[in-house]
Structure 1
Amino acid sequence: MSASRPAEATAIAAAVADRRCSARSVIEQTLEGIARLDRGVNAFTDVLAARALARADALDAASGQGRVAGPLAGVPFAVKNLIDIEGLPTRAGSKINRALPPARRDGALVRRLEAAGAILIGGLNMGEYAYDFTGENIHDGDARNPHALDHMTGGSSGGSGAALAAGMVPLTLGSDTNGSIRVPAAFCGCFGLKPTYGRLSRAGSFPFVGSLDHLGPMARSVADLALAYDAMQGPDPDDPVATTRAPEPVLSTLEIGIDGLRIAVAGGYFARSGDPEAFAAVGHVAQALGAQRTVELPEAHRARAAAYLITAAEGATLHLDRLRTRPGDFDPAVRDRLIAGAMIPAPFVERAQRFRRWYRDAVLDLFGGVDVILAPATPCRAPKRGQTHFVLDGVSLPVRANVGVFTQPISFIGLPVVAAPVWLDDGLPLGVQVIAAPWREDLALRVARHLERTGICTARIAELT
């Protein structure tokens, strides 16, 4: 592993498999980096040093006996702390959950990554109960953007993005209900995959909105995203919405390229609601891909409104008992939105669900004529921590409610998306969503890999000491 730029997951796995380095040396260096860097970044809430070192020693012993290493051999990874870690309460960014009994086993995706040879090294900071786009947390402290520590990481998977951007680990897991993988990927300058709804198991994770929740990987390279995604695929009877489809590996398809792909830019709503820089980032990517067609997702503004309504109502239902018994232990900004959600009349929610079915059919019709759609990931660069409003088109808008303006209409119908980072200058990054039809993660990843290979979309590690 390079001292100047930490190795990516694919490089670590190859080196450990070939016995050019030991898994233990990888983990020792990773732990040293976390101890040195996380004081300023605050990405981790739990560091599992003893567990990780024991796992590394077991992998090295197996390798010494000639056993074949897994595709993620020795790769350290960390997970958003709403995913179960055996022996720890699953806090989901909250104060209340700390009183829960420790998880009896790891979440399904943790088990699958470790079965492929990866090594869990810790739990990551997040917005309370995932109802957050900022990365701020009043209980654990804010996760800080490594590229500018006074700026937001984005949320709710803020620690997942920050740990990558700081170079502490090469692979993290996040969750995405309305944009919680894609927003921190954009703000922190890394890649994130929100898979098709139901593609990856959510078993062993604390829910937020069951009809919208996704789990997925974040990384500094597209190959690492694909490597982790391949390891985590597969049916799971413990998740009632998990697909029964057989795994469809994508790593081997990354270098096919984009010849023949029909790529379009999302217009209409996606070209009206953000800072000019957000649209410039999409234009930069579209030009590199030769994408000249524009498509409009019908009634996208209503899709965002319906997503907000369903999120508030389903989230409130999950937390009603906590709201009644421990209202003072919530972040007030989270509590008040959940209380508002509890008061939404049921007919409004049913109307939103009916619209959702119509909108999904209408958007899927678009994929009869295109393979991939490009859209901004966020309406702006990362705001400063503590900033409550930002200005778009002369209007002051709340940060927490509006950072997901471009992500919500996509996750609302469960489409697969790769968030890819774009650096227009030496400032903070922006992000572009590479959106595909359901079950076509391979196409989104192929486009992202092409952009990465040409240098248009690249992850950066912050210069921290």
Structure 2
Amino acid sequence: MGKKKVMLPAHEVDLATAKYQYEKIEAPHLTGFWLKLFVKLLESPMIGSLIISNLKKENKMIEMLRNTVIPEAPMFKPEFPPQEPLNRGKWEKCRNWLYALPILQVKLVLLEESENEVVLLEEDGKPEERVKLALKTLPDYDPAKSCNADSSSPFRYWKIRDYAYAYRSKLTTPSIVAERFIAAMDEFNNKKPPTPLLISYDPELIRKQAAASTRRFEEGNSLSVLDGIFMAIKDDIDCCPHPSKGGTTFFHEVRPVEEDAASVARLRCCGVILVGKANMHELGLGTTGNNPNHGTARNPHDPERYTGGSSSGPAAIVASGFCSAALGTDGGGSVRIPSSLCGVVGLKSTYGRTSMRGSICDSGTVEVIGPITSSVEDAILVYAAILGSSAAERIAMKPSLPCLPNLTLHGNSDVLRSLRLGKYTEWFNDVFSADISVKCEDILNRLLETYGCKTVEIVIPELHEMRTAHIVSIGSESASGLSPDYEDGKRVKFTHDTRTNLALFQSFSASDYVAAQCLRRRLMYYHTEIFKNVDVIVTPTTGMTAPVIPPAALKSGETDLQVSGLVLDLRKFNEFVLMRFVVTANILGFPAISVPVGYDKQGLPIGLQIIGRPWCEATILRLAAAVEELCFTPKKKPLQFYDMLKGN
């Protein structure tokens, strides 16, 4: 008796009185022999259920999911309030006018009901046409600051437009860059200790794509500004003829690849050179990037540290200079976390904005495919190429038309001035190192001084409930998809940390999953109310910078509960987790972006996260571009960096 709790309906909760809860979450941190023993115990019928039950009880999951009456109805995937978008008829009338006029004559296209100073994109159009229009939204390109820069200039990443200019000006060719890439990758793969970036890689296939791109430039028929741009694809996204292993040793055997994923096919239409399948945390079930199967990708800024996961290879390959961009998947910050830890840009679009067809996790309700790039403008170009949801998603979710910020207009400053940035200070400051909150706070002050962007204090109730709803949702969906293979004798082929996670995930009942979806609806209500007063929510991307790789974890892995949604190593970082700030955008489907804002005292990158309203990618991209411009301190060249454009 006395265990039952009843929540107030969400609309009766006074947001102003909500208190931030500093959590102490209990879980073991194990590697090597002790991890293997722990997994055996977890998978034993009697002892395992006792361990998991105790773990869930200690972290108040049973109390929340089974002993609490949640008055809201379940929300089984993100449902957004009506957006009142520009209607299709009006769009059809203005589309031909927009495409016919030169960009200098296009004053602007207003989507007054949601975002200002934006240019609309046609979701069903050709990706190369969207990229062409996206290119016109960017500030003028200055060749003097491009590949003509001398070696004494401060370090900067080459942008997609730098490569395009070099190709058009005959300073180099895609084939020359391909040979540099292949030579550098061979050198990189022979490094000790090994730091694998690509799981599947075929030099001859790269040469063939590069030769075709070189011919197009020679003939003056390049397909888009992305023609000849080198990109890696995370190993859970289909890219023919490469297998999709999802970071495992066997998954390609039970799930053969028959065609490109929708996003990859769109990149091919634009002339992108696809270099292969990038390393990842096995099946995306982790936030470190640890992978005993193929080797663990290491952080280019410090090879003794993790890249972050699960899109570990994509972030590292961009940060190392090998590729201008990569595609990752983000189900629990898996694009934004590694982007933050590696000092690059990671974009998660609104759930349903991009098609998940052709990815291993294409049926989940928290995951999207997103670009990882070295700059915001490159994220804009790649996003323009890959966006486009399925017809079924458009019918169900009724999205507003996709659009991009017009960064060429003087009115851009006016839009920035009008933006209200929501900040929950206690949450914002709940980080392991004060360097993180100080750097992120500093950029908010600069935004105010330069553009007049006002920071508004907000309160977000039930953050612990949000993390629980997320882990139950992504865990149940992952376990459901993997159970047939898990029960078909493939269990021993998974890594030990994957088996640890699956043991927990399989313990969630149907009622647990439904309760999590009821929490999702409550949380959507709170955030809808918050977004009535602010345009974006700003946080650090992660609660810590890149963690050190325990040597014992390289061979056998480690329990990912320490640095994912439940806990960090209890001996050192009890309350500070990599996923602290990112799961909001996943469980509620909001767009979010991580943009680098500096370094901590150890020289490790720090990222600022910007979370937007549903379908408002243009707003977060505009603000991210402003943040990037204000971070005028020269970027720190990663310890592991290869210059593909100049070859030095």
TM more than 0.5: yes
Shift of 1:421: 1.5
* Of 435, 439, 450, the match for 2:626: 450
1:376 correspondence with 2:540? yes
Task: Give the distance between the partners of 2:393 and 2:383, measured in 1 at CA.
Answer: 17
Q: Deviations 1:302-347 (Å, cap 9, x if unpaired)?
A: 1111101112211111111222222111111111221221121211
Task: Give the distance between the partners of 2:159 and 2:615, measured in 1 at CA.
Answer: 26
Q: Which amino acid aligns with 1:16?
A: Y
Shift of 1:251: 6.2
In structure 1, the residue matched to 2:586 is 411
Question: Using a 3 Å threshold, how does the CA distance of structure 1 residues 239 and 120 change in structure 2: closer, same or farther?
Answer: farther
Would the aligned equivalents of 1:187 and 1:382 in 2 still touch at CA under 8 Å? Answer: yes
Q: Which amino acid aligns with 1:47?
A: Y
* Of 452, 472, 492, the match for 1:309: 472
Question: Using a 3 Å threshold, how does the CA distance of structure 1 residues 283 and 140 change in structure 2: closer, same or farther?
Answer: same
* Of 422, 436, 440, the match for 2:597: 422
Q: Deviations 1:7-26 (Å, cap 9, x if unpaired)?
A: 22221123324544322222
Q: Equivalent residues in 2 for 1:286-435 (5 A)? A: 286-290=444-448, 291-324=454-487, 325-386=489-550, 396=572, 402-424=577-599, 425=601, 427-435=603-611
Question: Using a 3 Å threshold, how does the CA distance of structure 1 residues 42 and 460 change in structure 2: closer, same or farther?
Answer: farther
- SS of the equivalent of 2:305 reads coil
Give the % identical residues: 27
Question: Using a 3 Å threshold, how does the CA distance of structure 1 residues 217 and 76 change in structure 2: closer, same or farther?
Answer: same
Shift of 1:27: 2.1
Displacement over 6 Å in runs of 4+ = 238-244, 390-395
Task: Give the distance between the partners of 1:241 and 1:125, measured in 2 at CA.
Answer: 35
Task: Give the distance between the partners of 1:229 and 1:458, measured in 2 at CA.
Answer: 26
Task: Give the distance between the partners of 2:262 and 2:510, measured in 1 at CA.
Answer: 33
Extract unaligned runs of 5+ from structure 2: 1-146, 449-453, 642-648
Shift of 1:458: 7.4
Q: Which amino acid aligns with 1:106?
A: D
- SS of the equivalent of 1:313 reads helix
Task: Give the distance between the partners of 1:130 and 1:398, measured in 2 at CA.
Answer: 23
1:35 correspondence with 2:186? yes
Extract unaligned runs of 5+ from structure 1: none
Structure 1 stretch displaced more, 411-420 or 361-370: 361-370
Q: Deviations 1:392-416 (Å, cap 9, x if unpaired)?
A: 89875579x9421211123210111
- SS of the equivalent of 1:150 reads strand
Task: Give the distance between the partners of 2:188 and 2:394, measured in 1 at CA.
Answer: 39
Q: Aligned pairs, how many?
A: 464
Task: Give the distance between the partners of 2:299 and 2:395, measured in 1 at CA.
Answer: 34
- SS of the equivalent of 2:438 reads helix
Shift of 1:253: 3.4
In structure 2, the residue matched to 1:91 is 245
Question: Using a 3 Å threshold, how does the CA distance of structure 1 residues 205 and 285 change in structure 2: closer, same or farther?
Answer: same
Question: Using a 3 Å threshold, how does the CA distance of structure 1 residues 163 and 267 change in structure 2: closer, same or farther?
Answer: same
Task: Give the distance between the partners of 2:182 and 2:582, measured in 1 at CA.
Answer: 34
* Of 133, 144, 169, the match for 2:287: 133
Question: Using a 3 Å threshold, how does the CA distance of structure 1 residues 222 and 214 change in structure 2: closer, same or farther?
Answer: same
For the pair shown, the structure with the greater C-alpha radius of gyration is 2
- TM-score, L = length of structure 1: 0.91
Question: Using a 3 Å threshold, how does the CA distance of structure 1 residues 67 and 209 change in structure 2: closer, same or farther?
Answer: closer
* Of 382, 392, 395, the match for 1:228: 382
In structure 2, the residue matched to 1:71 is 225
Would the aligned equivalents of 2:230 and 2:272 in 1 still touch at CA under 8 Å? Answer: yes
1:16 correspondence with 2:180? no
* Of 610, 615, 620, the match for 1:439: 615
Question: Using a 3 Å threshold, how does the CA distance of structure 1 residues 241 and 79 change in structure 2: closer, same or farther?
Answer: farther
Task: Give the distance between the partners of 1:433 and 1:177, measured in 2 at CA.
Answer: 16
Q: Which amino acid aligns with 1:160?
A: P
Question: Using a 3 Å threshold, how does the CA distance of structure 1 residues 247 and 86 change in structure 2: closer, same or farther?
Answer: farther
Task: Give the distance between the partners of 1:19 and 1:440, measured in 2 at CA.
Answer: 38
Shift of 1:90: 0.8
- TM-score, L = length of structure 2: 0.67
**Cα RMSD, aligned residues only:** 2.8
Would the aligned equivalents of 1:88 and 1:102 in 2 still touch at CA under 8 Å? Answer: no
* Of 208, 215, 219, the match for 2:369: 215
Would the aligned equivalents of 2:345 and 2:594 in 1 still touch at CA under 8 Å? Answer: yes
1:60 correspondence with 2:214? yes
Structure 1 stretch displaced more, 276-285 or 438-447: 276-285
Would the aligned equivalents of 1:191 and 1:221 in 2 still touch at CA under 8 Å? Answer: yes
Q: Deviations 1:206-252 (Å, cap 9, x if unpaired)?
A: 11770111110001111100010111122335978997758634264
Task: Give the distance between the partners of 1:12 and 1:251, measured in 2 at CA.
Answer: 23
* Of 185, 194, 199, the match for 2:339: 185
